[in-house]
Amino acid sequence: MSSTSLVRVVTGHGIIPRTHWLERLLTIFDVRRTRIDLARLTDAQLQDIGVTRAQVEQELARAAWDIPAGWKGRR
């Protein structure tokens, strides 16, 4: 396990080690929360960031473990 994965802040209560499976699980939760936030944006807000409602619907249809390519390998 790398030292960077041992020094990850998970809660406001300090630093706890994150094993590989825990890292993946927390990433899945992050992705789900991000997708929910995206779904709550208005059409005007989506237009501001260059995303269409159809793209949002397509993203929401993805499985929770289907992580965007840009997120893989991020630490």
What's the confidence (pLDDT) of residue 71?
63
Cα–Cα distance, 75 to 63 (Å, whole number) = 22
DSSP three-state, residue 37:
helix
Each of the 75 residues of the chain gets a pLDDT tens digit; together they read 444 444 444 444 444 555 678 888 888 888 888 899 999 999 999 999 999 999 999 989 998 888 767 666 554
Sequence ranges of the domains in the chain: 19-71
pTM listed for this prediction? 0.61
How many whole angstroms separate alpha carbon 8 and alpha carbon 12?
A: 11
Q: Which two tokens stand for residue 60?
A: 């929401």
Instruction: Please name the amino acid found at residue 28.
Output: I
Length of the chain: 75
